[in-house]
Amino acid sequence: MVEGRANRYDAIVIGGGHNGLTCASYLARAGKRVVVLEKRRILGGAAVTEEIYPGFKFSVASYVVSLLRPEIIRELDLVRHGLAVLPVDGTLTPLDDDYLWRVDDHGVTVRELRRWSKRDAEAYEEYSVLMAEMARFVKPLLGEAPGRPGASPWVGLAKRFAALPESQQTTFIQLLTMSSADFVSQWFETEPLRATLSASGIIGTFLGPRSPGSAYVLLHHYMGEVDGEYRSWGLPVGGTGAISGAIGAAARELGAEIRTDAPVARIKTRAGKATGVVLESGEEISAPVVISSADVRVTLGRLLESGTLADDDAQAVSRYKFRGSSAKVNFALAGLPTFSCLPPGTTDVYRGMVSISPSVDYIERAYDDAVDGRFSRSPYIDMGFPSAIDPSVAPPGKHVMACFVQYAPYELAEGTWDSQREALGDTVQATIAKYAPGFESLVLHRQTLTPLDIERTFGLSEGNIFQGELLLEQLFSGRPTPGAGYTTPVRGLWLCGSSTHPGGAISGAPGRNAAREVLRAWKRAS
């Protein structure tokens, strides 16, 4: 009896990533009996800190935070549960013999821009204000279930849109439709500025900066806020795993049960309705509601017995595009790299990010390599130095450095990722060394995560960090399939991962929205 009861829950959440944990927290908060089942030994999914090399703690996959919804931090009391975010200040774009360096201090940045272009320095203010307005306009959408086209959230949006000043209407339309390079080029003529700004539009998506649709991805990255400041990035103390740790602690305190080393093999259904899961160990757990934070292909393709979905539904799932295009390279360093373009002794740079994005053409050609089925010979790299901000993640005097790399296409035209992994790592290392001579000699250890590794380790299909590309047809009510929202064709089976609106990054919004939808459905049913 005792055992039987232990294995009966109101809801099962598959996956202990930050969205799964968020969803479970909200369900527990509403008094539901919830269990979270995590495949790995550690929680966090792609928001995870691991000591890959003794003394060096890597935020293995996602490495900065800004999109975590403030209401989640508040409602789940995450600060009390240990969440502490340190600001990341500035972005340096090194060039062969010059640099562009923007920092949070607006006056300093404007002075730096004036060095490049007076016009750009003037436009920067207007641009920053406009983007903050846009983030404010879009923000309510993040917390809403997307619904079907024509349904009420859309009418609300149309009304709010009509109320915007025309200049903001224009910008909103442009953000939904333009390429990020075209978008930013309206304001700026400085090439490294155009490139570095538009690079935010390619993250996690198989698009170049000149591909329409990338401006939306740019906006997606502007929606973040740290302490109410839009477009500011932060570094969680202890790495991104600390976020998952805090949410996990909240979930536990609210009464959720969390099990690690509990890989789900199959979702059980009866007569088109979810009834529970079977673990790889053979253990069966029953619940009338199963919520998966795994991506839509894993959930509906792999965890459901084939034939469960109708052909049309299966086709819709198969049409959802992943196309992982990014890699991650983590370095353990004996010291911080010295960028030759900066005056000797410059140390402020390590408090921010360094972006290898000298020109739009540079990134576009990096994209062309991916189209040709190979990793970029000269990749876009966004690097950070977590240990310079949070010394707890590396031994004294030593450092960790996180490099987000694009492009690395999941599908290679020739060879396999297992044979090309180190070649990619070498290319990234050599690219950095071009701007930081002697970089190689600092490297104590290197961890290269190809899209294949991201898929294997984190269960993200095709290694897409957003659980599916942020393409226009895969946004809002189109995500993951038209009209689905957080539901699936299987009654009682829900999605709460980044495959659902509003998509990827450490925001927690899919998890929170899904929990609310599940609770509403419960209410309706009772």
Partner 1 sequence: MSARRPQGWDAIVVGAGHNGLVCAAYLGLAGLRVLVLEKRESVGGMATTSEILPGVRVPTLAHTVGRMSAKVMRDLRLRDHGLTLIQPGVRVFAPGPGGGATVLWADASKTAVGLGKDGDAYLAADRLVRQLGTALGELMGRAPVDLGAPTLADSVRSLRSPARSSSAELLRYMPMAVRDLVGEWFASDALQAAVAARGVLLTGLAPRMPGTAGVLLADLAGNDGGLAGQSVFARGGPGAVADALASAVTAAGGEIRLGAAVAKVRRDGDQARGVALASGEEINAPIVVSNLDPRTTLLDLVDPEVLGPRLGWRAGNIRAHGVTAKVNFALSDIPAFTAAKGNVQLLQGRILVAPSMRHLDLAMRAAKYGDLAQEPLLEVTMPSLLDPDLVAPTGRGKASKVRHVMSVIAQAAPFSVNARELGDIVTATLEAYAPGIGDLVVQRQVITPRDIEGEYGASGGHPMHAEVALDQFYAWRPLHGLGRYRMPLRGLYLAGAGAHPGGGVTGLPGRLAAAAVLEDRGRKVRT
Token readout for 310 is 């109708």
Q: Which of 177, 340, 346, 378 binds partner 1 (CB under 8 A)?
A: 177
Among 203, 207, 394, 442, binds partner 1 (CB under 8 A): 207
**Closer residue to partner 1, CB minimum distance, 186 or 392:** 186
> Minimum distance from CB of 361 to partner 1 (Å)?
6
Q: How far is the CB of 197 from partner 1 (least distance, A)?
A: 16
Within 465-504, which residues bind partner 1 (CB under 8 A)?
471-473, 477-478, 482-483
The CA–CA distances, whole Å, from 430 to 424, 438, 443, 465 equal 10, 10, 12, 24
Piece of 34-42, 171-179, 240-248, 272-280 that binds partner 1 (CB under 8 A)? 171-179
Minimum distance, C-beta of residue 473 to partner 1, in the bound complex (Å): 5
Please give the C-alpha separations between residue 506 and each of 62, 287, 309, 435, 491, in angstroms, as whole numbers.
8, 28, 30, 30, 28
Residue closer to partner 1, measured from CB, 430 or 472 = 472
**Cα(30)–Cα(514) distance, integer angstroms:** 13
Give the nearest distance from C-beta 185 to partner 1 in angstroms: 8
d(CA 197, CA 155): 32
Compose the 354-373 pattern: x for residues touching partner 1 by CB under 8 A, - for all others.
-------x--x---x--x--
Could you say which residues in the range 149-168 bind partner 1, by CB under 8 A?
149-150, 155, 158-159, 161-163, 166-167
Q: Please list, residue by residue across 449-472, b when 16 or more beta carbons sit within 10 angstroms of its beta carbon and e when fewer do.
A: bbbbbbbebbbbbbbbbbbbbbbe
Q: At what angle do helices 214-222 and 166-177 cross, to 10 degrees?
A: 120
Residue 252 and residue 239: Cα distance in Å, rounded? 20
In angstroms, give the least distance from the CB of 517 to partner 1: 20
Closest to partner 1 by CB, 334 or 371: 371
> Contact between 173 and partner 1 (CB under 8 A)?
yes
How many residues form the binding site for partner 1 (CB under 8 A)?
41
For 392-430, the DSSP string reads GGS-TT-EEEEEEEE---SS-SSS-HHHHHHHHHHHHHH
Q: Is 129 in the site for partner 1 (CB under 8 A)?
A: no
**How many C-beta atoms lie closer than 10 Å to residue 10's C-beta?**
17
What amino acid occupies position 484? A
Q: Is 208 in the site for partner 1 (CB under 8 A)?
A: yes
* 3-class state of residue 384 by DSSP: strand
Give, for 468, the enclosing helix (H) or strand (E): none
CB of 42 to partner 1, least distance (A): 36
- Residue 376 interacting with partner 1 (CB under 8 A): no
Question: What contacts 45, CB < 8 A, 6 or more positions away?
Answer: 15, 16, 17, 18, 19, 20, 38, 244, 293, 458
Query: Which one of 38, 112, 120, 182 is in contact with partner 1 (CB under 8 A)?
Result: 182
Considering the complex, state which of residue 176 and residue 278 has its C-beta at the smaller distance from partner 1: 176
CB half-sphere exposure, 28, CA atoms < 13 A:
26
**Closest CB to partner 1 among residues 3, 311:** 311
Q: Which residues neighbour 24 within 8 Å (Cβ) at sequence distance 6 or greater?
A: 11, 13, 34, 35, 36, 251, 256, 258, 515
Judged by CB under 8 A, the residue of 100, 178, 195, 436 near partner 1 is 178
| Residue 324 engages partner 1 in binding (rule: CB under 8 A) | no
- Residues at the site binding partner 1, with contacts judged by CB under 8 A: 148-150, 155, 158-159, 161-163, 166-167, 169-170, 173-174, 176-179, 182, 186, 206-208, 210-213, 319, 321, 361, 364, 368, 371, 471-473, 477-478, 482-483
